[in-house]
Chains A and B, each alone.
Chain A
Amino acid sequence: MHEMGIANSVLHAVRIEMTRYPEKYPCKVCVRIGEMTAIDQDALRFCFEAMIQDTDLVTLELAVEFCPRRHRCQSCSHEFLVHDYDSRCPQCLSFETKCISGDELELAYLEVEEYGPSTVGAKSTERE
């Protein structure tokens, strides 16, 4: 159950990034999660929701971009998705293939919005 730590790191990164946009608030943060990272998406969402409760980030949405395991063949350079752990190249049948994706645990992007009359969220309420 390290999803709490992951959620905490995501929120920490959002707060740091937001210091660059004092006139805006964050609406959505997108995290890239690879198949091989052992991160449970539901558990991550659960932790994320729990951690933003009663904070100024309560309206922040979490988006997850799932990255399946992909390999590149060392012999013929073919790139393919690995199903059921079968990492053999489907094109030339070589076993010499290298993992090129599936190990991601990255922050992809953050969506920010100007504070305005229609803004919902703790921070905007303070301003009104």
Chain B
Amino acid sequence: MDRVPLERKVLNENDRLAAELRARFKEHGVLCLNIISSPGSGKTTLLERTLASLPRHDRVAVLTGDIQTKNDANRLKRFNFPVKQITTGGTCHLDARMVDKHLADWKLEDLDLLFIENVGNLVCPSSYDLGEAAKIVVLSVTEGEDKPLKYPSIFFKSDLLILSKIDLLPYVPFDMNAAAENARKVHPGMEIVKVSCQTGNGLHEWMTWLESRRTANKPLAEATVS
């Protein structure tokens, strides 16, 4: 019996493709953000509000994933930015191959910002690198403040936590401080933004975060010129 050391990632093929995507995003100065949450936490609504507040000439595109239907793409197309639906047909997460395939007829040099709205799921998307610069996790106040402890992986791997639907706080027993504390137990120093897409509360903080990431992502030369 011989033991052969393998010492490589299980998702080697996905990671290889994700690394290729990341290199392409970097080459063209595209900031790619992978947005993840349970179904119904408000990813699409957040994107609607985000796209609505961006200037028409902004170089932004969205890939949106679901198991079935093109509903989300139809909602997001109203803002006249390029939007494409990834229908997985049953797969509970997006992988790098799906992203690569759906990017095929877009020119990355025409983009600065790419949102990927993952399939609603707090577990599986955490294992699949899509070549993004950062993962963002959305948690709505109707879900319970212990979600970060129950589903630690995605909170551990996300740069930003967006606590959504804060307009519902008067009607639900959600402890905002405990939610933030739980998220930071799993991910010390995690950035947190609280928003309501209905009232617009907190959207400014989210847009500020986004803008700071976009600025940081611009190539050094370009940043000095502008």
The answer to whether A and B interact is yes
Whole-angstrom distance from the CB of A66 to the nearest CB of chain B? 14
Q: Which residue of A lies closest to B5 (CB)?
A: A109
- Asked whether, in the complex, the Cβ of B185 is within 8 Å of the Cβ of A9, the reply is no
Contacts of A108 in B (CB 8 A): 5-7
- Asked whether, in the complex, the Cβ of B149 is within 8 Å of the Cβ of A85, the reply is yes
Q: Is B19 an interface residue (CB 8 A)?
A: no
Contacts of A36 in B (CB 8 A): 152-153, 156-157
Q: Which residue of A lies closest to B122 (CB)?
A: A38
Stretch from B8-16, B27-35, B105-113, B206-214 forming part of the interface with A? B8-16
- Asked whether, in the complex, the Cβ of A17 is within 8 Å of the Cβ of B126, the reply is no
A86-B13 contact in complex given A2-B123, A38-B124, A112-B4, C-beta closer than 8 Å: no
Contacts of A86 in B (CB 8 A): 185
Q: Is A39 an interface residue (CB 8 A)?
A: yes
- In Å, the complex CA distance between A13 and B127 comes to 17
A106-B9 contact in complex given A37-B127, A85-B185, C-beta closer than 8 Å: yes
Whole-angstrom distance from the CB of B40 to the nearest CB of chain A? 19
Q: Which residue of B lies closest to A20 (CB)?
A: B4
A109-B127 contact in complex given A9-B13, A31-B10, A38-B154, C-beta closer than 8 Å: no
Q: Is A24 an interface residue (CB 8 A)?
A: yes
A6-B11 contact in complex given A1-B92, A109-B3, A111-B3, C-beta closer than 8 Å: yes
Contacts of A24 in B (CB 8 A): 2
Q: Is A10 an interface residue (CB 8 A)?
A: yes
Which of chain B's residues 1-60 have a Cβ closer than 8 Å to chain A? 1-14
Whole-angstrom distance from the CB of B73 to the nearest CB of chain A? 23
- Contact pick for A113, options B1, B14, B92, CB 8 Å: B1
- Asked whether, in the complex, the Cβ of A110 is within 8 Å of the Cβ of B6, the reply is yes
Q: Is B165 an interface residue (CB 8 A)?
A: no
- Contact pick for B127, options A29, A38, A106, A112, CB 8 Å: A38
- Asked whether, in the complex, the Cβ of B10 is within 8 Å of the Cβ of A105, the reply is yes
- In Å, the complex CA distance between A113 and B152 comes to 39
Which of chain A's residues 29-64 have a Cβ closer than 8 Å to chain B? 29, 31, 36-39
- In Å, the complex CA distance between A47 and B9 comes to 19
- In Å, the complex CA distance between A89 and B22 comes to 34
Cβ contacts A to B, 8 pairs, < 8 Å: A31-B10, A37-B127, A103-B157, A105-B127, A106-B7, A107-B9, A109-B7, A113-B1
Interface residues of A (CB under 8 A from B): 1-2, 5-6, 9-10, 12-13, 17, 21, 24, 27, 29, 31, 36-39, 85-87, 95, 97, 99, 103, 105-113
